[in-house]
Structure 1
Amino acid sequence: MTYATAADYSWTHSPSSPFGHARGAGYSLVLVRGIGPEEVLRRAGAEPEGVRTGFDALVEEHVGLLDEYDGWPECTLAGAVAVPGEGGEWTLVLELGGDALGMSPRFMEAVSSGTRAVSHTGNSGKPIHLFHWYEDGALRTGFEYPAHCDGDTPDALNALITVVGLVPADDEAPGADRTAAFFALAEHLTGVRVTEELLAGAAYRTGLIPEEAYDEAGPGL
């Protein structure tokens, strides 16, 4: 059996990667099993914006949003697409220009009700990197650094954390590529392999998520 590791996602730090804009602007990536893109966006409180084909189109819309609001939008842009994974179809949601979607207990509880939802967020400016795994409306494991996990089963991912390239007892992870490691950890829990090609060519159903949707947002740690 082949296990995903941070090395499999080293492309997320490549200058030519379509993910470069998301990494620089701040992002939240959420994977939800068995709920379609339209419904996931609805539960996020998003205002529908139509379909954008290709990651470049998603980035273009995000840049336009920044220009419209002079760099401080009152909402964030999210694109959702159906992807294959463990146990059937999943929805991948990528939020640009913010890191709150996957950190919002209200949203993650809603989309994981009766199923599984996994998220990781990153913001190069702060910087911040968070991982959350929800099962049937409850946080199973959430952490910024592996040494400080929270949730109903805080130690449940320790073995996988080691496999992907992090150290469970590490509270600083010097030199660790946490973005890539979180992609790999999400793959272990969802069966979804996110690739450059997937992000570059997907037809994203988009929506604008207003600030008020994050009233109860927080790291859940």
Structure 2
Amino acid sequence: MKLTSSRGRPVARTAPQAGAPGFLWWLVGIMTAIEVILSLSDTGVFGGQGLRWPAFVLGAFWQPVLAGTVPPVYPGQTVAMFISYAFLHGGLAHLAMNSVVLLSLGKFVSAQVGVARTLLVLFLSAVAGAACFGLLSSSAAPMIGASGAVFGLVGLWQAIDYRMRRRAGLSLQPILRAILGLIAANIALLVILSGGLAWEAHLGGWIAGWLAGQSFARR
């Protein structure tokens, strides 16, 4: 459909996007391909000794490596693991949970701030999540998953809502309740999973997203 401007020139009208943008599907596709390979290896379809643990050794975030108590497996691992961990998951359920939020919330966020800034927020949130885990955790276990980046989107979304409410003079209580809900959900999952939750990565990712929403990724 075409509209006519006040100067008589035709103006194209773009239909709203029905689904998540392509770059998010590419990210989910890469993570899915990795997890499918690792899951098939777990069942013995290929990879005699299993590929999951070697993948974790090479790509997961290791606090002891960051702290220097364990040497890196390859040159540059101390830097690469700040991003590579986000593409690894502990199973299809873990992957599905992160992917659903990434696609649904990423669609909204990218419509507000654009593709480039959304990708930058995802990158910075993943790095901040790893950094926060490295600073606050003393766990020797590998840290994996895209939840640091996902919580970055949550933080950015809440920052956008916060700024919109302030401009409109609306109550900020819904933002506060949402943040308290996130904290309560993380505490509950931490208990349910017997401590097997990288809440530090969630915190770091959320902070990065919130700060991005107050600075370069403002609506």
**TM-score band w.r.t. shorter chain:** under 0.3
Q: Which has the higher contact order (CA 8 A, sep 6+)?
A: 1
Which structure: larger Rg? Answer: 2
Q: Which protein is richer in helix relative to its size? A: 2
Q: TM-score scaled to structure 1, two decimals?
A: 0.27
